Structures are given as structure tokens and as C-alpha cells.
Structure 1
Amino acid sequence: MCRYIYGSERNIIVETKIENILSKFVVSIPSSITQIYRSAWDIDDTYVLKTNDDKSQLDKSIMLNQLLLSEGVPVIEFIYSTNGKPYVYLDGKYWCLMKKIKGYCFDPFGGELKNNGIMLGKAIAKLHIALKSIENKVEAYESDFSDELLSWIVPELEKHSVSFSDGVMDSIVTFLGRDYKALPRQLIHRDIHTSNLLYENGTFSFIDFDLSQRNVRIFDIVYLGCSQLVENYKDETRLKHWCEIFRGILHGYNELLPLSEEEINAIPFLFVFDEMLFTAFYLKTGQPEIAKSCEEMTNWLHKNIATIIR
């Protein structure tokens, strides 16, 4: 019997189920199972077991990871079960076993800031090169932020009487209706933040392609930058450090995939839109306090972001 870590209720039941599932992947009974979040478990620091309710999303993620591996991109490798499939279906859920990627979450605020940014920018560019080469081999959602804005973001904001600073909504509506449409599009990760980037021995590995879609390529850069900014924009010193890191990201990306003037000019608008999206998302999911902080950051970005990233 293995050592199950995380909480106390129903541990034996969950442990027994997991051991049963692992047997279908021809994996030995583990010595430890550690729950790392609600739907994922670390198995002996060697594998990750994860559940998924959406088979179409799972199939897309598996195919995408396999294609990226064939392109030499360090991503998760799925283990095949005895039924010849990279998952086991049990109790209404799909269970996947993946080889655990070695590495740690990269902290760009430690060490040489600009160089850290350059490394991140190059890593994203290399991923985009690989994604571009395989995008015709996978079915991907064709995202349009202007549709998202009108279909659910604005209704959610109006439902909760959110009122951004003057000019915020008008600028985003104009941008998404015109300039956004002309930006280079391709298959992107869509959820790049430092928790989905593992670093070891000079190499970045990528995880969690569940949200991958076709969209403007610079959104991956903006999303990463915004995720690093959210806890630092109110601290003057940390904000200066962030600016150096983000300029490095742009520099590193541009070395491998030159950015057009239109893309550079679009970056501030995408920062504002990203945080506006999160404002609506947290309202929709019943988290008003987080939504309020996103609203405040949206207003701050509208006022400041174009200036500080120059």
C-alpha cells in the first residue's frame, strides 16, 4: 500500500481507484501519490495522473503534444494504456497518465532581468515556430476576441454594473473591430504563464495546451506579461523590474520571429483587453473580489501600459 499525501477524507478510496487505474497503464503500484491540484496527482515524482471531462479537448491536447514532440519541442508525453489508448475511461472521467517533465517554475525576477526576458521571448518564439508548422494537422478553435467581447464579456460586465474609466471600452471596441483583425494569426498556446513553463538546464518545457486555439500570435506574449505584472504593478521597484523583463521578452521573440509595427502597436490594447476579460470571467465564476482587482488593473493598464513598455 502506498503513502497518499493531501488531506484525510476518502484517501483509501481514492488511492485504491488510482492504483486500479495505474494498473491499466502497466505501471507498478506507487510508493507515493501526491495530489497537486483538484484533478491531478503526482505519482512517485515520475508521472502525473490527470482527469478530464471533455474528450474532444483531451484528444486535441494529446494530438498537439504528440506533434510538438515530433518537432523536438519539450512537452508532456502521454503513456498508452493496455487498451491501446492514451487514457482510461472510468466513472464518467477520462484518466491520462503522463511522464512528468523535470524542471521548476521559472522566476524572471531573479538574476539578470533582461536576459531572463530574452530567454522567455525566444522560448515562446520557438514554440510558435513549431505550432505554425503543425497547425494544419490539428483541429483548433478559431478565436475572435471581438465576438467574445460582444457575446459574453460585455453582458457580464453590464450585469454587474462594472464601469471602467472613460475611454477604456471605446478603445477596445475600436481596436478589436479594426486593427485586431489584421494581426498575424496562428495556433497559439493561449495560457502561457510561468506555472506552465518549466525550466531546467537552459531549456524551457511547456505544459497544459488545453486552451490552445488559433488567434493573434502576440497574445501569448501579452498573456505572459500580464500574468507577471498583476502582482507587481503597484510596487514601483517591481514595476521597473517587470518593464526590463518584458522588454527582454519582446527582444528575444523579435530575434527569431520579427514583430511588425502593427503588432507592437497592438500590444497595449491586448493588455487592457486581457484584464477586461478576466474581470468578466471572475464575475461569471462568482469571485467578485478578484474581479474588482482586475477592474482596477484594467483602468491602470489603459492609463499606463503604452508608456511603460516603450
Structure 2
Amino acid sequence: MDDEGRYFSLYTYLPGRVFSAREIIENPLVPQHFGRTLAMLHQLLSDHPLISQFPTRDVYQSIYHFARKAMDKVESRSDRLDQIYQDLESEFQLKVNNLPKQIIHRDAHLSNFIYGEKDLLGVIDYELAEVNVRIFDLCYCATSVLNEVFHDKKLSTEWFPFVEKLVDSYHQKNPLSKLEYDAIWYVMLAIQSIFMAYFAQIPHLFDHNQAMFLWLFDRKELFKGSVKHAK
């Protein structure tokens, strides 16, 4: 602990590599690795004895009682946002309020998955771990890939099959309910809303995440056609 009361931890270096967003989208085996990894991680965390010591978050509250307020004064915010949030509110509550919750990683982006030549070596960076809907990690992983390829028209189009493989491989190892499948698009919008709020004071990052939010919103039917519940 330093003079300002901050804690620092030193961990053993984990050798290996991380996959780029391009590799993840272009190699059909990689999203399967990611899906299985998240599924196994969630199985390990599902009955963790220290669950009461982790903060509990609510996806609905994160949007409607945090993110929207944080975005109120952003000059570049789209005129569409208020109407979208109003139109989705009751539907959003219905979709997310009864989703299964457990301890999740909460920061499941590409750089936190370390691989060897063939196999997973480890998942790092648990400092944001919390109790939340378990599909949050799946959605966060998917949007982190979209973030990297968003301005590449070809790769952003190929992102949909990637999400399908990611979710299906998770489902094979740790089955998802139809309720969870139906809520994936909504939780992705929630994640983009959180990022928009987080970057409300950094215009170019706010604009980027807002563009992703609107892009996802406008492609609901395409998304639903790609990601279907596998019985």
C-alpha cells in the first residue's frame, strides 16, 4: 500500500499470446475457444463461497439511473437516443430483470485471454469482478471485438457469424436459456450505454461508442437472425 492508501499487487508473469480481433473473426476455431473458456470460467465461479464479498450490479439501473444522466450534457449525443431509451425501457426491464446472476469477470476483452500454441494458458485481470447477469461477459467479449473492427466494413459484417459461434460454443459447455439468448442484444446495448457514459467527457470516444450503439440498434433483426437459441 502506498502513501495514498492505494493497494498494488505483483503477479507471476503469464507467457503466451492474445488473439487480434481480425484473427478472432477470420479463424472459425478461435471464437469456439473463447466461448468454451467463458463457459468454464462461469462454471467455476457459479458457486463461489465468497460471492457475498463481490459488488452486485443491476444492468437496468446501470442504463436508466447512471448512463442516461451521464450523457445528458454531451453536445454530440444523437437526437435518437432519448427516443430509443424511452421505447426500450419496459421491454428492457422485462428482458434483463430475471436473467441468472453470478460472479462474472466483467472485463472479458481480448487482451485478458492468454493462449499458448494450442490451448488456453489463463484468464487475467479480475479487479472488476462482480455479481451480474452471466451473459454480460459474453456480450462484453463480443462488443470488444466489434470495437476493434467497427470501421472495417467487411470485418464488421463478419462479426455476426463470430457472435453466433461464440454464443453457441458457450451454450454447448454451459447451456443458456432462451431468456438469455433473447436478452443478448439488449445487454450489448447496455454495455455500449455504459461506455458512452464512461467517455462522456472524451468526445471522440463517446462518438465512437455512440456510433456502435446506433449500429447495433439498427441491426436488431440481422442480429436476431444470426444468434438463435440452440435447443
Pair in the same fold by TM > 0.5: yes
> Hey, what does 1:255 align to over in structure 2?
172
| 1:98 alignment partner AA | Y
Distance 1:132 1:298 in 2: 30
Q: Is residue 110 of structure 2 the alignment partner of residue 198 of structure 1?
A: no
> Hey, what does 1:118 align to over in structure 2?
32
1:239 is displaced (CA, Å) by 2.0
- RMSD over aligned CA atoms reads 2.1
Moved over 6 A (4+): none
After the TM superposition, which residues 1-310 of structure 1 pair with which residues of structure 2 at under 5 Å, given as runs?
Answer: 89-92=1-4, 93-107=6-20, 109-110=22-23, 113-136=27-50, 139-160=53-74, 162-165=77-80, 167-200=83-116, 201-283=118-200, 286-308=201-223, 309-310=226-227
Identity %: 24
| 1:169 alignment partner AA | Y
Higher relative contact order (CA 8 A, sep 6+): 2
- Higher Rg of the two aligned structures: 1
Instruction: Flag the 1:299–1:108 CA change in 2: closer, same or farther, 3 A.
Output: closer
Distance 1:102 1:138 in 2: 32
Higher strand proportion (structure 1 or 2): 1
User: Secondary structure of 1:106's match?
Assistant: coil
User: Secondary structure of 1:205's match?
Assistant: strand
Q: Which runs of 5+ in 1 are unaligned?
A: 1-88
| 2:205 alignment partner AA | I
TM-score, normalisation: structure 1: 0.66
1:204 is displaced (CA, Å) by 4.3
Distance 1:174 1:272 in 2: 15
- Asked if structure 2 preserves the Cα contact closer than 8 Å seen for 1:109 and 1:241, the reply is no
Distance 2:169 2:22 in 1: 16
1:149 is displaced (CA, Å) by 2.2
Distance 1:306 1:184 in 2: 24
Distance 1:288 1:236 in 2: 23
Higher helix proportion (structure 1 or 2): 2
1:175 is displaced (CA, Å) by 3.6
